[in-house]
Copies of this chain bind each other. A is one copy, B any other.
């Protein structure tokens, strides 16, 4: 190593890793054009590296209905049969994803719309049939994501926008939960970036009282989380969300924020946004 290389390595270490936001949006943003407009504008305003992950929303159900394809349920669980996979490939990968990309370009984000098949970014395994055959559903595993591959795309100046589709590496597209994709990306990319994972949902964050939007809990660490569970302040639907978030943090993600897309602009302005989950201080 010559002298100038040594200086450059040192300055990189002093600066730490580059920061990356991975932001997941669902139906309450996608299905409402005004919410989506504001979200994409605020997303564009954020500095640093960014990845958008979006779910499906109501439009897939609507298109399936228009095409006369019935939702398949077995024991109350939704099944992705071949017809449903066609619909979600059209709606997630085409209609929603490409309209989001066109909007992001309008605001100045140089987005590229992706499934996990593109760039071989996310490989999954078709869920094995045990009691239920879920059809073309892809499960993420430890080696699903190659962070260097995604990093090359971002370093070339592009902002990835992922929909909820993956592939098996053998030519088969698969339907994968968008929350899971976001969290797997965050864990994997934490090896290269200081990664903050943001879940946008319909509430302002984790609330002390679910009926009072003013009862937002600003920060939760694992210790605090255990207390909140014991006191039954956090229960039912929020538990798996927060369990997954703390798992991501244990796997290297710097912080997970759960908040309302309307408030995303606060992040840019250093104002409080949602509930921030992080390691014990």
Which residues of A line the B interface, CB within 8 A?
Answer: 63, 66-68, 86, 89-95, 97-99, 101-103, 105-106, 110-115, 117-120, 152-153, 155-158, 165, 167, 169-173
Q: Which residues of B contact A153 (CB under 8 A)?
A: 153, 156, 158
- Decide: B98 and A120 in contact? CB cutoff 8 A: no
A169 lies within 8 A of B114 (CB): no
In the complex, chain B residues whose CB is within 8 Å of the CB of A170: 106
Q: A102-B172, A152-B156 are in contact. Are A89 and B93 (CB under 8 A)?
A: no
A85 to chain B, nearest CB (A): 10
Q: Determine whether the beta carbon of B105 is less than 8 Å from that of A120.
A: yes
Chain B nearest CB: distance from A164 CB in Å?
Answer: 12
Q: Is the CB of A167 within 8 A of B102?
A: yes
CB distance from A114 to the nearest CB of B (A): 7
| Cβ contacts under 8 Å, A111 to chain B | 118-119
Residue in B92, B110, B152 whose beta carbon sits within 8 Å of that of A119 in the complex = B110
A111 to B112, CA, bound (A): 13
A83 CB to nearest B CB, Å: 10
User: Contacting A93 at CB < 8 Å: which of B86, B93, B110, B155?
Assistant: B93
- Determine which of B95, B110, B155, B165 lies in contact with A98 in the assembled complex, contact meaning CB atoms within 8 Å: B165
Q: Which residues of B contact A103 (CB under 8 A)?
A: 171
A86 to B66, CA, bound (A): 13
B101–A115 touching, CB < 8 Å: yes
Contact of A157 among B152, B165, B171 (CB under 8 A): B152
Complexed CA–CA distance, A122 and B135 (Å)? 36
Q: Which of B89, B92, B95, B114 is within 8 Å of A112, CB to CB?
A: B114
Q: Which of A63, A93, A98, A167 has the most CB of B within 10 A?
A: A98
In the A-B complex, the 3 residue pairs with the closest CB atoms: A94-B94, A90-B90, A93-B94
